[in-house]
Structure 1
Amino acid sequence: MITEAKHEAAPPLLDVSHLDVVYRAKGFRRTPFRALTDVSISIDRGRTLGLVGESGSGKTTLGRAIVGLVPVASGSIRFEGEEISMLSTRRRRRLSRDIGVVFQDPYSSLNPAMTIEAILTEPLTAHGMSRRDASRRVGALLDSVQLAADSGRRLPREFSGGQRQRIAIARALALEPKLIVCDEPVSALDLSTQSKILDLFIDIQEQTGVSYLFVTHDLAVVRYISHDVAVMLGGEIIETGTGEIITSTPTHPYTQKLLLASPVPDPERQAARRREYMRLT
């Protein structure tokens, strides 16, 4: 008799469960501010979770909590099965090899006094790589984000916004992370540049298998890049699903409003969307 082997589903790369983040207010009798309430998400290997919501919804706070920049009040953050919400500084430094970050503003996230080679070499040498090997690695990183090999000798001010964001992506890739937290990485760019950067993110994922937590307020961006989507409002997750479902037939009125807020080129359709948006409002 032939029996079929049963395989358990692979555990997620990142598993956030019932997470609360509370900012303690200063002063007499001031009420603490609860930034995240009972937030649960998961990201599988090689997949992108789009985290969408308006400003102040808590999505950036969640990204910062995952990388250890915000203290957690309660709940769990597990990376590859290991609890990371309360790691010591030494263990957090080790984890920084596996979790990279791309920040929103490509103009302020790069040190203007350092050359591009120095910016990309810094995390490599900090984790024990020799200068010679780090210099070799810089060439490969510049190639992976489609920048010229001589870019390393130049300063950030010599590059456009899109090129600077490519440099920021190269820095996030320097230590070959398994997860990259992308905090509104295209919101400061024009539409044509946004499309090129999103294509770059997709190409890198196909080549390396890296996972993304992609924070954005734009459902059009989410539709383009995300496998799965979580929608945030007031520090809570209010709707989750595949990218296709959430960006086409959302069920929560707030998500429906976000979808209707994205412009379409047809004037009649846009007018109808505007009327429906006002009705929901």
Structure 2
Amino acid sequence: MTSTGTTESAFPDALLRIRDLRVSYPGKRRRAPHTEILKGVSLDIRPGETLGLVGESGSGKTTIGRAVLGLVPARSGSITFAGERIDTAGPARRRALSRDLQVVFQDPYTSLNPSRTVGDTLSEPLLGHGTTAREARGRVGDLLARVHLPQDAAGRLPREFSGGQRQRVAIARALALRPRLVICDEPVSALDLTTRRTVLELLLEIQEETGVAYLFVTHDLSVVRFMSHRVAVIEGGVLVETGDAGSVTTAPRHPYTRALMLSAPVADVAEQRRRRESAAALGGKAAVTAADGG
């Protein structure tokens, strides 16, 4: 069922549970007031589920993922993973949590060390968690096969691959420790349309095989519709609509969500202009630019 507001019904079996999360960033000048980015966000993700988190640039969607990963501190609220409170976890516990919590970033090139071979990149998290060098080599071969890359890719550098292939390497690295949740932060927005669909299909294939859950962060409602079981829409640090993907992406209730839908690009120029004018009437300029990444 689709709902509006900042909270959604709790799932007793939730893998990730966020409650009333608030995050603020300091001002650019000394003594400048902090800017509140997240304003009491609550959401759940169940095992094996994809929750699509959609909103324009600056809406706070990436900050949610960063808070889950411990990259930004929570001002208040709580983040619970597999029944454990993790927003207050120290560095040592955070390192241990990386076995279960991983991330795929937007840019597949800058997220990979350009001077390290693919094999070294994929081996690093395994060796860091006590895997022997021999076991790591075997696991690297399995990971390359899982993301449909040739075995000789292990000896090559990131610059020798296309953007889509580099993102496959990044996905393989995220899967190395067999995580339970992967945060996908705009993982296909830097790719061309054909490559984008191939990578999305790969992520779905991996989820079906492994049961991994995804927090899928994007500005693109069409991608959310393709990938997600449920969708949460965020505007200005507040969740304005949550529900199953079919309902939210075909019959949204909140004006901001409708504006995001109308601002999505279409092939017909005249239709695109009409949709953007309608989006502007619903959600203002910010919503119109959302489909372009803000």
- Asked whether the two chains share a fold, i.e. TM above 0.5, the reply is yes
1:113 corresponds to which of 109, 112, 115: 115
2:72 corresponds to which of 66, 70, 77: 70
Q: Is the partner of 2:250 in helix, strand or coil?
A: coil
2:31 corresponds to which of 29, 32, 37: 29
Q: Is the partner of 1:169 in helix, strand or coil?
A: helix
Q: In 2, Cα distance between the equivalents of 1:136 and 1:268?
A: 54
RMSD: 1.4
In structure 2, list runs of 5 or more residues that go unmatched: 1-10, 285-294
Quote the residue 1:126 is aligned against.
128
In structure 1, list runs of 5 or more residues that go unmatched: 1-8
Q: In 1, Cα distance between the equivalents of 2:241 and 2:138?
A: 44
Q: In 1, Cα distance between the equivalents of 2:138 and 2:50?
A: 29
1:267-278 correspondence to structure 2 within 5 Å: 269-270=271-272, 272-278=274-280
Q: In 2, Cα distance between the equivalents of 1:254 and 1:128?
A: 47
Does residue 145 of the first structure (1) align with residue 147 of the second (2)?
Answer: yes
Larger radius of gyration: 1
Quote the residue 2:187 is aligned against.
185
1:1-281 correspondence to structure 2 within 5 Å: 10-25=12-27, 27-265=29-267, 269-270=271-272, 272-280=274-282, 281=284
The residue type equivalent to 2:279 in the other structure is: Y
Q: Tell me the CA shift for residue 249 of structure 1.
A: 0.8
Q: In 2, Cα distance between the equivalents of 1:214 and 1:201?
A: 11
Deviates more, 1:247-256 or 1:128-137: 247-256
Deviates more, 1:29-38 or 1:146-155: 29-38
Q: In 2, Cα distance between the equivalents of 1:218 and 1:239?
A: 15
Instruction: Give me the TM-score of the superposition, normalised by structure 1.
Output: 0.94
**Deviation readout 1:131-170 (Å, 9 max, x if unpaired):** 0000000000000000001100000000000000000000
Deviates more, 1:117-126 or 1:267-276: 267-276
Q: In 2, Cα distance between the equivalents of 1:267 and 1:68?
A: 43
Q: In 1, Cα distance between the equivalents of 2:47 and 2:30?
A: 46
Q: Tell me the CA shift for residue 22 of structure 1.
A: 1.3
Q: In 1, Cα distance between the equivalents of 2:273 and 2:113?
A: 44
Quote the residue 2:292 is aligned against.
none
Between the two proteins, the alignment pairs up a number of residues equal to: 273
Q: Tell me the CA shift for residue 238 of structure 1.
A: 1.0
The residue type equivalent to 2:189 in the other structure is: S
Q: In 2, Cα distance between the equivalents of 1:41 and 1:136?
A: 38
Q: Is the partner of 1:124 in helix, strand or coil?
A: helix
Q: In 2, Cα distance between the equivalents of 1:117 and 1:267?
A: 45
Q: Is the partner of 1:247 in helix, strand or coil?
A: helix
Q: In 2, Cα distance between the equivalents of 1:27 and 1:171?
A: 38
